[in-house]
């Protein structure tokens, strides 16, 4: 608080620095949000696109962050930067075997893996088709 020179009895309150709330308190938890099939399909589409190299960074404290390189869109001029993917959907895709992690690049504070779609193995039919019977004509 400062006092003005002209009026010695009047004190002026100056604004104080506002403290930002903790990020966890300001943003509702995304872990409680259900995973929608449309979001999972969009994430898989981004990972499968060869123009968008996708990576997961695992930090020393265990936090995982999936990101990809967003190419420049000539129509809008947007892009040319890294963009994050939803961690819950990516972890679900990895657990179901739809994406795989490549060779690790290890730093003291983090490990980075390349993320790719898993090679699809053609599934065998549930039961083989029965061959039609041949009748012998005498």
Q: The dihedral of CA 101, 103, 107, 108: what is its sign?
A: positive
β-bridge mates for residue 113, sequence order: 56
Both tokens of residue 80? 């040319």
pLDDT per residue as tens digits for the range 25-63: 544 444 445 556 668 888 999 999 888 889 999 999 999
Give the three-state DSSP class for 39.
helix
> CB–CB of 27/82 below 8 Å?
no
Report residue 69: phi and psi, to 5°: -85, 120
pTM listed for this prediction: 0.58
> CB–CB of 114/101 below 8 Å?
yes
pLDDT per residue as tens digits for the range 80-126: 888 999 999 999 999 999 999 999 999 999 999 999 998 765 555 55
pLDDT of residue 124: 54
């Amino acid at each position: 608080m400062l006092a003005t020179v002209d009026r010695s009895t009047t004190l002026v309150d100056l604004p104080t620095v506002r403290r930002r709330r903790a990020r966890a308190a300001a943003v509702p938890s995304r872990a409680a949000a259900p995973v929608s099939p449309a979001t999972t399909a969009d994430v898989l589409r981004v990972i499968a696109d060869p123009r968008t190299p996708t990576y997961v960074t695992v930090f020393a404290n265990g936090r995982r962050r999936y990101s990809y390189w967003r190419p420049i869109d000539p129509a809008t001029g947007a892009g040319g930067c890294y963009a994050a993917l939803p961690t819950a959907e990516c972890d679900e895709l990895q657990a179901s075997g739809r994406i795989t992690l490549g060779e690790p690049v290890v730093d003291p504070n983090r490990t980075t893996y390349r993320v790719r779609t898993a090679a699809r193995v053609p599934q065998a039919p549930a039961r083989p088709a029965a061959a039609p019977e041949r009748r012998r004509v005498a």
